[in-house]
Structure 1
Amino acid sequence: MNNKNITQKEHNSRRELKKEISLTVKLPKEWVEHLFFLEETTKKTKDYYVREALYRYLEDLEDLEIGLERLKSKSRTYTSEEADKRLKELRTMKGITKSTFKNV
């Protein structure tokens, strides 16, 4: 099976993964200095920032891959104006208004 055609869940089921693993990476001195600064000023750990950055990067990469696949599939694309119009129609059909979200 081609690795590009499997989901993350399928990939993970093929391997026994621990809840967390340690990973060693070499970072540029400037990045490390920035991490120390953030740690001192925000009271969040360097590990927190590295994990958060990696998580966001992987999410963005996955979104990009999904978008590219959809473009290749030649499915219908919408302008932002068309999407906004359709969302308004759907909200009206479902009885959802801006006030629905005020108390959330």
Structure 2
Amino acid sequence: MLAIRLPDELEKRLDNLAKLTGRTKTFYARQAIERHLDDLEDLYLAEQRLTEICAGRSQPIPLEDVLKRYDLED
């Protein structure tokens, strides 16, 4: 279960969309999350990894090593 607070303007837009289309606000919230969660995960996990590399807590992996490891070399 998830409960979120939205700014008034966003809440009004979502409510209006739901009324005009006969769908629920939950339907549209779920759609938005499903469509953008992959991008958010990629972004925030990459930022976290970069922070760890810059702080010396982790080392980058050269592209050549990744390609070799997964047998993706030309």
TM range, smaller chain: 0.5 to 0.7
Give me the TM-score of the superposition, normalised by structure 1: 0.40
Aligned mates of 1:45, 1:73 — CA distance in 2? 45
Q: Give the C-alpha shift of residue 50 in structure 1.
A: 0.8
Q: What percentage of residue pairs aligned between the two structures are identical?
A: 37
Q: 1:39: how far off?
A: 0.5
1:75 aligns with 2:54: no
How many Å separate the matches in 2 of 1:30 and 1:43?
Answer: 20
> Which of structure 1's runs of 4+ aligned residues deviate more than 3 A?
63-66
Q: Deviations over 1:63-94 (max 9, x none)?
A: 4447xx7xx43316xxxxxxxxxxxxxxxxxx
**5+ residue gaps, structure 2:** 50-59, 65-74
Tell which has more relative contact order, 1 or 2 (C-alpha 8 A, sep 6+).
2
Aligned residue number for residue 9 of structure 2? 30
SS of equivalent to 1:25: coil
Q: Residue type matched to 2:36 in 1? A: Y
In structure 2, C-alpha distance between the alignment counterparts of 1:40 and 1:32, rounded to whole Å: 12
TM-aligned CA distance change 1:75 to 1:37, over 3 Å: same
Aligned residue pairs total 52
